Amino acid sequence: LTHKKSSKKSSNTVPVLWKCSMCTFDNHETMVYCEMCGVFRESFVKSGKDVSIKVESVNGISNNSGTSALSNSDSTKMPAKTSTTNFDGDSERKYASTSHDKVNSTQLASVGSSSSTGKKKQPVIFDNNVPIERTTQLNADHFQLKEDQGSSRASSSAQNKGSMETLSSDISQLSIERNNVNVAQPLPEEYKPEGWMLADQESGVLSQLNLAIVGHVDSGKSTLSGRLLHLLGKISKRDMHKNEKEAKEKGKGSFAYAWAMDESTEERARGITMTVAVAYLETKKYRVVLLDSPGHKDFVPNLISGATQADAAILVVDASTGSFESGMDGEGGKSVGQTKEHAQLIRSFGVEQLIVAVNKMDAIGYSKDRLEFIKVRLGSFLRSCNFRDSAVTWIPLSAVENQNLIKSPSDARFTSWYQGSCLLDAIDSLQLPSRDVSKPLILPICDVIKSQSTGQLAAFGKLETGAIRNGSKVLVLPCEEVATVKTIERDSSSCSIARAGDNVAVILQGIDGSRIIPGGILCHPGFPVPVANYLELKIRVLDIAIPILIGYQVEFHIHHVKEAARVTKIVALLDKTGKPSKTAPRFLKSKQNAVVQVTLDQAVCVEEFSKCRALGRAFLRSSGSTIAVGIVTKIMRQDQH
């Protein structure tokens, strides 16, 4: 069932039948409105205006790109204007004071071999045997608003906890007012990808699949990830033995596999994941980059930073009595658990394919009835988040008892009723999303590591578009300096080319180390990403207790950056069809869709969603809860604000 296609075919894209002319999202043919921004396909056809969507035209966007109604966008000017976009050249200092969320990208080479040191200090060995060390340390303070902002919002904290209920249709319910949005413009004519960028996969090389592991705290994400690595021979016997021994000594025997992912002393002591751990494994079809996320609600910002890179996700749920329920409804059934919050968030990142790993089946005697109950409850919730039934695969398993992970289960209580796929087969059945190699390079930096001996730096991250190879010149943002790619590393071995979709470490030369920062971008020198702090967004307000007024302080999250911001203008409310209200409301409340303007304390690398989804998806958080999700529709200059 799962290996029908050759690995070449594996790079096929998910079937795409129409592309939204507003936000460029690729929609399934059954959708009558854009899943991402909510614009109706029909309405444009009927309106007979310049935006013509043809069902058969995947590239319909290019027909519309000259649309005059939209040509008032600033965006056409943005690339050339980087240096004037509210970015005063004082970038380094400004960024140094900005809180960036960091993902600890642990090289597999170090997994399990560092039990006493913790992964942040763990030297990562590159090919040339140069030990390198992270320059960035994860600090819980990074995820706190500055004191004054935090306290001004403190009162909303408790009430906001459960406010994610209706992210259900999240961005899909957002509609876009035509005049405010920049339809994807054609790329400037002069950009022509070079031959090597587009070259087909080298034969025998597996495609890279970035897979986020998400789910409620303690559902078993790290145990599952560690167990998979172990079963696939990625953890040596010695390291596994060491983990088992040390976990036992510390009275945490059940966490032995999780420790392969949770390497820091604090994570191990608390028995929770705090940062996103990155590990690599191979299936028949893919080189999988596992992004094991924290489930604890305090670390949702880390999850956002890590899981934005995902092509697909495994949502781990704890099947045991009471635990599945808290994952759905929070402790005491009164709020929203992270099973729901994570599902909503990853869907709004654009993740369409989901494997639901129903874990801890051993704890419920491999009960089929319990699985069916979970499927019904969670299934209807996932549907409300716009996950298509056909894109959701349910895999019951037990990470601890190794049932149904890389082969069919063996426990008679399980085999008596289960004939479906195992987890590994389900991973191989995932489809790769399309990769934009023909656009200029964009690589958002999620982490930076530094060579101890030579001072060489590696920027970690996933190429969203374009390609690089050794010797490529890249523009480093926000510092606006050009550097040269010296080496590219994938899973701690060097490779000559990285293309869109690849998660790599890039060692740069010709730049001072302090200029490369998480939250920055590597891009094509001729096509810089805007750096801005005045933005217009379409947002979907989640369940909030305190209305959003002008002046509201928020944490603004976008790709790997978090920045303090203020809502400076409420432009309009949007109705279900995306029509803006004639008058602007004074405040926003739960479940409303709106156009707002925000001012960030410091400029960040950002792009309009229509041009680059990964750089145009934003999340507004306050007092530890996500209060709104949205997309960037306009990058403004100060005088437009």
Q: How far is the CB of 200 from Mg ion (least distance, A)?
A: 37
Nearer to ligand GTP by Cβ, of 135 and 408: the residue is: 408
The reply on whether position 275 binds ligand GTP by CB under 6 A is no
The reply on whether position 107 binds Mg ion by CB under 5 A is no
User: Nearest residue by C-beta to ligand GTP?
Assistant: 295
User: From Mg ion, ligand GTP, none, which one binds at residue 428 (CB under 5 to 8 Å depending on kind)?
Assistant: none
Which residue in 21, 283, 339, 359 binds ligand GTP (CB under 6 A)? 359
CB atoms inside a 10 Å sphere around CB 391? 18
| Secondary structure class of 318 (helix, strand, coil) | strand
Cα–Cα distance for residue pair 469/473, rounded to 1 Å:
9
Please check whether residue 40 is in contact with residue 194, taking contact to mean a CB–CB distance below 8 angstroms.
Answer: no
The reply on whether position 553 binds ligand GTP by CB under 6 A is no
Nearer to Mg ion by Cβ, of 258 and 485: the residue is: 258
Residues 205-244 that bind Mg ion (CB under 5 A): 221-222
Cα–Cα distance for residue pair 75/535, rounded to 1 Å:
12
User: From Mg ion, ligand GTP, none, which one binds at residue 359 (CB under 5 to 8 Å depending on kind)?
Assistant: ligand GTP
The reply on whether position 540 binds Mg ion by CB under 5 A is no
Closest CA to 404 of 448, 355, 476, 463: 355
Which residue in 41, 134, 178, 360 binds ligand GTP (CB under 6 A)? 360
Structure tokens at 72: 């008032």
Closest CA to 35 of 50, 23, 49: 23
Q: How far is the CB of 258 from Mg ion (least distance, A)?
A: 6
Report the length, in residues, of the chain: 641
Nearer to ligand GTP by Cβ, of 123 and 306: the residue is: 306
Listed ranges 221-229, 237-245, 344-352, 500-508: which one lies at the site for ligand GTP (CB under 6 A): 221-229
Q: How far is the CB of 251 from ligand GTP (least distance, A)?
A: 11
Cα–Cα distance for residue pair 91/600, rounded to 1 Å:
14
Residues 292-311 that bind ligand GTP (CB under 6 A): 294-296
Q: How far is the CB of 225 from ligand GTP (least distance, A)?
A: 8
Q: x/- binding map, residues 304-343, to Mg ion, per CB under 5 A?
A: ----------------------------------------
Transcribe 433-497 into DSSP letters. Answer: PP-BTTSPPEEE--EEEEETTT--EEEEEE--BSEEETT-EEEEETTTEEEEEEEEEETTEEESE
Please check whether residue 605 is in contact with residue 520, taking contact to mean a CB–CB distance below 8 angstroms.
Answer: yes
Which residue in 101, 362, 425, 608 binds ligand GTP (CB under 6 A)? 362
Which residue in 219, 456, 487, 593 binds ligand GTP (CB under 6 A)? 219
First to last CA, the chain: 55
Cα–Cα distance for residue pair 542/588, rounded to 1 Å:
10
**DSSP label at residue 539:** E
Nearer to ligand GTP by Cβ, of 363 and 437: the residue is: 363
Which residue in 75, 98, 99, 273 binds Mg ion (CB under 5 A)? 273
Closest CA to 231 of 422, 3, 492: 422
The reply on whether position 218 binds ligand GTP by CB under 6 A is yes
300-307 vs 338-348: helix axis angle to the nearest 10?
30
Structure tokens at 193: 């990808």
The reply on whether position 264 binds ligand GTP by CB under 6 A is no
User: From ligand GTP, Mg ion, none, which one binds at residue 360 (CB under 5 to 8 Å depending on kind)?
Assistant: ligand GTP
Which residue in 45, 187, 206, 363 binds ligand GTP (CB under 6 A)? 363
Give the binding-site size for Mg ion (rule: CB under 5 A). Answer: 3
User: From Mg ion, ligand GTP, none, which one binds at residue 363 (CB under 5 to 8 Å depending on kind)?
Assistant: ligand GTP
Give 325's contacts (C-beta < 8 A, 6+ positions apart): 333
Q: How far is the CB of 107 from ligand GTP (least distance, A)?
A: 20
Closest CA to 267 of 282, 286, 250, 285: 250
User: From Mg ion, ligand GTP, none, which one binds at residue 218 (CB under 5 to 8 Å depending on kind)?
Assistant: ligand GTP
Give the binding-site size for ligand GTP (rule: CB under 6 A). Answer: 23
User: From Mg ion, ligand GTP, none, which one binds at residue 501 (CB under 5 to 8 Å depending on kind)?
Assistant: none
Transcribe 21-63 into DSSP letters. Answer: TTT--EE-TT-SB-TTT--BHHHHHHHTSS----TT-TTHHHH
